[in-house]
Amino acid sequence: MKNATARKRIQLAVGGLAAAATLMVATSTPALAGTSNNVKNSTGASIAWFWEEGDHLQSSDQWQDGHGSVAEWRYSPGSTIHEYYNGGGFGVTKSWNLNFTEGKSLQIRSCLADGSNGTPFSCGSWVNAKA
């Protein structure tokens, strides 16, 4: 009887680990080489990543809320903010291949927007990154 109970516990544990691994793969970011900095907007409805190797900026729409996601970057507080809109819908990640001077410091953040000409809102905090 003890062996059957132990076997059942092991089967449940392995099943739980398999489910967790499947969820991690299904929700992971697209694979890019190098170091990334990632940020969420203030609600978690969008995520932005900056990949140091290759200078890739990405934006992912995480909620079915009717809003698009925006990745923003700037060189420093007070400098021009550059916006990249992703209107692909829930679960879509869009990537832009930028070209920065090697070692250049910048900041990124994630926001929501309604349309490519919409004003970004519900933005997250700025996060430091390096090209």
Q: Write out the residue range of the structural domain in which residue 7 sits.
A: 1-30
Low-confidence stretches of the chain (pLDDT < 50) are: 1, 6-33
- Residue 35, pLDDT score: 59
- Residue 52, pLDDT score: 87
Same domain for 92 and 70? Answer: yes
- Residue 2, pLDDT score: 54
The total domain count for the chain is: 2
- Residue 36, pLDDT score: 66
pTM above 0.75, yes or no: no
Same domain for 24 and 36? Answer: no
Neighbour-count burial for 52-83, b at 16+ CB within 10 Å, e otherwise: beebbbbbbbbeeeebbbbbbbeeeeeeeeeb
Structure tokens at 72: 């923003």
- Residue 22, pLDDT score: 30
- Residue 80, pLDDT score: 98
